[in-house]
């Protein structure tokens, strides 16, 4: 009798475990209607930055087009790590989407040609390259080299230098301890111009400036505003040394697991978010600069021609370390 009871109890426990397992399995729900795919999108900026607005637009478009079957969770403020951390997360599929730029040059060097200060004279030059044959070639190379899929390029406006002294000539750059992102093309050029560039994670920059570990930094106006850099810097020099982008990038591992319909939803949402973000940056840049000026930031207007000539003299040496033929292709396109 005892043996029968023990067997009965064991059987009941086994049945209970099976039922519990089934109840926790989303795929077991009736005709899959309750299944939700949750994907993570990370970036290094604050919730107050225009990147967050663009990310929220992407989220809105994906969730609406998928009838809520795909959810996008946004992680600002380097919650998923810095640029390199997120790029590596994209490679292995622990991060699904990220807003990243120059760090991709650590996986595919050719994209660093887009990072050379003064390679583009204006926004039209930038658009012509990233949205043309060269841009597509770079996108394809990045995917092949890193398993990171660039969905689109978001505009960020030109980059400018902030410092605690006015920057007007090349002499003002000499020995300047300036924070730059981990991008070899920028390091090469700024050294060539006489500055002392140093790489630093974005979430350390405010404190670094506050404590005088670094003396200057360079970024687009919305980025400077979002990071409250004008609270710890007195001047902004409108150097417009780089017409800037950030990529809305996706893990190819995540992409390959999606259905054709889901992939189409992601592509269309990325396009709409890009249009939204680019318009937002265009509309907000001057307004944000005016706000910072109202809070005490002083503007200087250096001789850009002098800066550009000196920078371009360094480009070919760097291009030799990456892809000289592609560099010449870009230069030919810009002629």
Task: Please tell me the predicted confidence (pLDDT) of residue 107.
Answer: 93
pLDDT reading at 200 higher than 60? yes
Dihedral of alpha carbons 132, 137, 143, 146, sign: negative
- Whole-angstrom distance between the N-terminal and C-terminal Cα of the chain? 94
- Angular region, 68: left φ>0, alpha ψ -120 to 50, beta rest: left
Task: Please tell me the predicted confidence (pLDDT) of residue 63.
Answer: 98
What pLDDT digit, counting tens, does each position of 36-73 carry?
A: 999 999 999 889 889 999 999 999 999 999 999 999 99
Give the number of C-alpha atoms closer than 13 A to the C-alpha of residue 287, restricted to the C-beta side.
7
148 CB-near residues (< 8 Å, 6+ apart): 87, 90, 91, 104, 107, 142, 249, 250, 251, 252
What pLDDT digit, counting tens, does each position of 212-270 carry?
A: 999 999 999 998 998 999 999 999 999 999 998 999 999 999 999 999 999 999 999 99
pLDDT band (50, 70, 90) for residue 28: very low
pLDDT reading at 123 higher than 80? yes
Task: Please tell me the predicted confidence (pLDDT) of residue 280.
Answer: 95
């Amino acid at each position: 009798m005892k043996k029968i009871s023990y067997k009965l109890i064991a059987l009941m426990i086994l049945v209970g475990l099976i039922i519990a397992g089934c109840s926790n399995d989303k795929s077991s729900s009736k005709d899959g209607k309750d299944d939700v795919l949750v994907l993570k999108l990370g970036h290094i900026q604050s919730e107050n930055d225009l990147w967050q607005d663009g990310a929220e637009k992407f989220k809105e478009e994906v969730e609406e087009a998928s009838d809520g079957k795909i959810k996008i969770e946004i992680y600002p403020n380097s919650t998923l790590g810095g640029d390199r951390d997120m790029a590596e997360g994209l490679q292995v599929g622990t991060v699904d989407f990220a807003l990243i730029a120059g760090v991709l040059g650590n996986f595919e060097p050719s994209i660093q040609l887009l990072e050379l200060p003064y390679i583009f004279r204006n926004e039209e030059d930038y658009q012509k390259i990233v949205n043309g044959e060269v841009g597509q070639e770079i996108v394809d190379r990045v995917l092949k080299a890193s398993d990171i899929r660039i969905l689109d390029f978001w505009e960020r406006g030109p980059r400018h230098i902030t410092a605690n002294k006015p920057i007007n000539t090349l002499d003002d750059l000499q020995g300047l301890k300036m924070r730059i992102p981990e991008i070899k093309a920028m390091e090469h050029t700024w050294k060539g111009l006489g500055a002392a560039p140093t790489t630093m994670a974005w979430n350390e920059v405010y404190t670094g400036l506050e404590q005088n570990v670094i003396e200057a930094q360079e970024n687009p106006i919305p980025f400077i505003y979002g990071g409250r850099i004008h609270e710890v810097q007195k001047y902004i020099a409108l150097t417009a040394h780089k017409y800037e982008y950030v990529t809305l990038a996706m893990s190819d591992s995540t992409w390959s697991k999606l259905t054709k319909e889901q992939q189409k939803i992601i592509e269309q949402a990325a396009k709409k978010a890009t249009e939204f973000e680019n318009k937002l940056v265009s509309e907000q840049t001057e307004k944000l600069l005016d706000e910072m000026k109202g809070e005490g930031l002083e503007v200087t207007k250096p001789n850009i021609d002098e800066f550009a000539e000196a920078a371009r003299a360094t480009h070919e040496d760097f291009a030799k370390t990456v892809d000289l033929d592609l560099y010449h292709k870009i230069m030919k396109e810009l002629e």
